[in-house]
Amino acid sequence: MNRRRFLTIASAAALLPAAGRAAAPRITDWRGIALGAEARLILAHPDSDRLVAAALDELARLERIFSLYRRDSELSRLNAAGVLDAPSNELVELLALAGLVHDATGGVFDPSIQPLWAAYAAAGAEGRAPTDPGRTAALARVGWEGVTVDPGRITLRPGMALTLNGIAQGYITDRVAARLAALGLSDLLCEMGEIAALGHTPDGTAWPIRLSSGEPVPLSGRCLASSAPRATAFDQAGRLGHILDPRTGVPSDRDLALVSVSAPSAALADALSTAGCLMARADLDRSAARFAEVRIEAYRPS
């Protein structure tokens, strides 16, 4: 399932200062894939090749923790066994944040939705929706209260599984940006499914992000994530969207084209934008208010 593009970013050439472009440092504009989403790094630094290599190293390391599609990842091993001893600090940290967002959204954000997601994906591969009994059985295996997270061990109630697709891309974005900042890079646009904007563009302005709906969202020292209920779908007709409601077991019925959230961290923005696809605007505002410096940048009906 391909994820719809929610935003545009200016070309690297357009980010150079209008005066003295010939003398400006070379801008590196790397593009690739991270956890199945488009990824991009924009930076101006004389040693950009080394910095990009460090970013890709960090990306590969984090995918070995969070990928649902690598059998050897920590997440896959947790889902297969129902228990994971000596989890990485990153997995514990991310699940702790997921628990906070779960609480703030009244249970709407719930990474334990994976059994239900798998039921929809399997049915979609056969060109149909899940049967009512199949959906009910999968929903019985969903519930954040069945997840126990300790620094030394993570356990799931029997039959449960987690997906971190609504938060891990943001978290990976944060960590890759932090890795490059630790190496001395102060100005960076990092997109690993979501966006982290450090510092400024080479011409000294905020990074010029524009949402697919047209709104400009200049970013400096902030992160941005966007979601939509039918950005991807389980069926060819696009009716069965990929964001499932853990309370009812069915896809979001909200007629939303775009939910965009900015926050100090891309992981938090990612989780709240995902939950926002299942929430009324007033409820999303209340959930966002539980965290410092979070803004709803867009909540746009179709």
Q: What is the CATH number of the domain that holds 57?
A: 3.10.520.10
pLDDT at 24: 55
Q: In this structure, is residue 72 part of a structural domain?
A: yes
Cross-strand bridge partners of residue 288: none
Q: In this structure, is residue 55 part of a structural domain?
A: yes
Higher pLDDT, 242 or 36: 242
Q: What is the pLDDT of residues 166-199, one digit of tens each?
A: 999 999 999 999 999 999 999 999 999 899 999 9
Q: In this structure, is residue 6 part of a structural domain?
A: no
Give the closest residue to 79 by CA, choosing from 127, 172, 147: 147
Q: How many structural domains does the chain have? A: 1
Q: In this structure, is residue 192 part of a structural domain?
A: yes
Q: In this structure, is residue 135 part of a structural domain?
A: yes
pLDDT at 25: 63
Phi first, then psi: give them for residue 192, nearest 5 degrees.
Answer: -125, 55
Q: Which two tokens stand for residue 233?
A: 């779908």
Q: In this structure, is residue 78 part of a structural domain?
A: yes
Reported as type and span, the H/E element at residue 182 is helix 168-182
pLDDT at 2: 38
Q: In this structure, is residue 265 part of a structural domain?
A: no
Q: What is the pLDDT of residues 22-45, one digit of tens each?
A: 455 678 999 998 877 789 999 988
pTM of the full predicted structure?
A: 0.93
**Segment 50-67 mean pLDDT:** 96
Class of residue 275 by CB neighbours under 10 A (exposed 0-12, middle 13-18, buried 19+): buried
**Segment 270-274 mean pLDDT:** 97
pLDDT at 1: 35
The whole domain housing 135 covers: 27-223
Q: In this structure, is residue 106 part of a structural domain?
A: yes
Residues 6+ apart with CB under 8 A from 42: 9, 12, 15, 27, 28, 29, 30, 188, 189, 207
The rounded distance, in Å, linking the Cα atoms of 101 and 107 is 8
pLDDT at 123: 93
**Segment 110-123 mean pLDDT:** 96
Mean pLDDT score of the chain: 91
